[in-house]
Amino acid sequence: MITTTAFFNDTETATGNTFRAGTLDLQIDNSSYYNGQFNPATSWALRDLTVEKFFDFIDLKPGDHGEDTISLHIKDNPAYACVNFRQTENSDHGFSEPEDMMDGQVNQSDGTPTGDLGRRIVIKFWLDDGDNVLEMNEQPFDHLTGTLDSLFTKTAAIADATSQPLEPNRTYHIAKFWCYGSPRVVMIYRQDGLGLTQLIGGNGPDRRPNFICDGSVIDNRGQTDIFKGDISFYAVQARNNPNFICSPSLFPSPTSAPL
């Protein structure tokens, strides 16, 4: 006798199994005002930084001031982010007669060994909602407030493992005010909830000014002087990176946006 047997069977196939690396991209835009007027030379739409400059002012006078709204955009994945400030030049760059006389004699010296702008320009940063107005619930970056020569030695966290990462496809705003003189607070306002109303050139300091700049405290030592520096940003994935802390070692050479 011959018997045939059939076994029940089934085949399941998962096709096209794929590992694909994710992406991470940080892009930045800036809206800049100089003495209350929109300044196209230091403003740009969203992009990767190449030749853009946050500061490019060549005829400063005591009392000059500026305001900026910097926008950070992380694409695709949560990220930590850092910023680095590096001084590249701080020089007298020659001497005008009033500057030369600051040490009491005509000797091509103002009595200080290097340039003096770095000690006379003050910057304030804060976490903003996009309107470039310091409001009551917005966080000042106290560690990024001070004179140029103190700021341009620092690396600071925008977000690292001690805080929440930056979320993808969301805009983060950092506002700054700089003053060639002594900045004074006019008013810190209640939050109006309006935030950014126009991407470039829409949130001028006339909307609700926070600060004035007193140039009467400035003497002649800064005449003809030059201060230059680099501002660099660094972003890294937050996932599987629980101990990330911002440090100067992340910025081995001057890159990104020269001052």
The pLDDT tens digits for 61-83 are 999 999 999 999 998 899 999 99
Angle at 46 between CA 118 and CA 165, to 5 degrees: 80
Mean of pLDDT over the chain: 81
According to DSSP, the β-strands at 226-237 and 79-91 are antiparallel
pLDDT in tens, 207-221: 666 888 999 998 877
Digit-coded pLDDT (tens) for 19-59: 655 567 889 999 899 998 889 999 999 999 888 999 999 88
Q: How far apart are CA 153 and CA 251, in angstroms?
A: 12
Rounded-to-integer distance, Cα 96 and Cα 220, Å: 9
Query: Strand pairing partners for 215?
Result: none
**Using 50, 70 and 90 to split pLDDT, how confident is the model at 255?**
very low
- The contacts of residue 47 (CB under 8 Å, 6+ apart) are 27, 28, 29
